[in-house]
Amino acid sequence: MSEIPVIELVHPLPGFPDARRFALVELDEDGVLCALRSLDDPDLRFLVAPATPFFPDYAPVVDDTAAEELALTTADDALVLLILTPGPSLQETTANLRAPLVLNAGTRRACQVILDDAALSVATPLVA
């Protein structure tokens, strides 16, 4: 069994002020769907997925403050995870493109970045 990565949020997610440590648990063998499970609150978890398999052209711009907090030196250090809202089927599942989680894969520190782009939706269909 592979090691379950523990991720530390530099800022808690809105609405969850006491949850800063999460385990990223793969839900499929390809590692496309994952659960972000709180280590601080056993009842709290989010469905997440890396952006690239679903939105290959998605490239959010991380501001200097967030990049510094995460110790990101290049874009290659960052893994962008999208918080998903599961629907009854994959076709009805949506992704939040407006507020991705950006993770420094080396340090395992992450934060949610709120993007100032009205063209991005908080409920973008995951598959067409």
Out of 3.40.50.300, 2.30.290.10, 3.40.50.720, 3.40.605.10, which CATH number does the structure's domain 6-125 have?
2.30.290.10
- Spacing of C-alpha 100 from chain mean position: 5
Check: pTM over 0.95? Answer yes or no.
no
Band of pLDDT at residue 4, cut at 50, 70 and 90: low
Share of the chain above pLDDT 70, in %: 97
Average pLDDT over residues 21-30: 91
Query: For residue 11, which of 114, 82, 106, 105 has the smallest C-alpha distance?
Result: 114
Say if residue 2's pLDDT is above 80: no
